Amino acid sequence: MIESITKNIFAFYSPNLGSNVYILCGKEIVLIDTSINTNEKQLKEGLSELHISPEDVSILLFTHAHADHIGCANLFRNSQKFMHEKDAEAIELGDLHYTLANITGQEIIFNIDKHLSGNENINIEPFSLKIIHTPGHTKGSVCYYEQKQKLLFSGDTLFAGNCGRTDLPGGDEKKLLNSISMLKNIDFKLLLPGHGVILKSDQKANIDFVLKTLKAKYL
């Protein structure tokens, strides 16, 4: 359930359709995404393996506003919540359609403390995270690039051998193609996606394969 990625970064793998959750243990405890609400018990158990309680988590970084990534947000009541401005609006309006809460049986009610626009840096020792706006799966999808260790937390923009859907609210296949093409310019060693396995090699080849598949499907 919990895997050590580097000395101070861990992954929680969801037992169902929920997203992966990445746990960054530095000067502050940071989570990237929180999985679906039905995984609350398993996520708490996973964090306890690292001697982390929900109250210890100070920042939640969301890759986008879909319910399978944000469902456990309210578990972390002491945290500041960060999301791209184009998806944050759906949370603040309680948009059950855009967030997919209407089909996952969730109630999505929380505040976004920090609206991201893209190209910001978040520095929390020892991490330096660059926000990269990658629309396509949703309007406000982002990747987080940890510049010191060259890690790309890609949400549902890019997986190992695949990418996120574009037939959901906010999806756009042309924008997703452009976003994934842009990632070719990022020098990353590990791909840490929102679902599925971590890719540890052949990053450029993976992007080329996904782009070829997308172009064959949509162009």
What is the distance between the alpha carbons of residues 24 and 215, in angstroms, rounded to a whole number?
Answer: 35
Per-residue pLDDT of the chain (219 residues; tens, 9 = 90+): 799 999 999 999 988 889 999 999 999 999 999 999 999 999 999 999 999 999 999 999 999 999 999 999 999 999 999 999 999 999 999 999 999 998 877 778 899 999 999 989 999 999 999 999 999 999 999 999 999 999 999 999 999 999 999 999 999 999 999 999 999 999 999 999 999 999 999 999 999 999 999 998 876
pTM for this prediction: 0.97
Are 42 and 13 contacting, i.e. CB atoms less than 8 angstroms apart? no
Which strands form 9-12's sheet, in the order they lie side by side?
2-6, 9-12, 21-25, 29-32, 57-61, 80-84, 114-116
CA dist 2 → 21, 64, 75, 139 (Å): 9, 22, 18, 30
Domains defined for the chain, CATH in brackets: 2-218 (3.60.15.10)
Q: Which residue has the tokens 């452009």?
A: 178
SS3 at position 32: strand
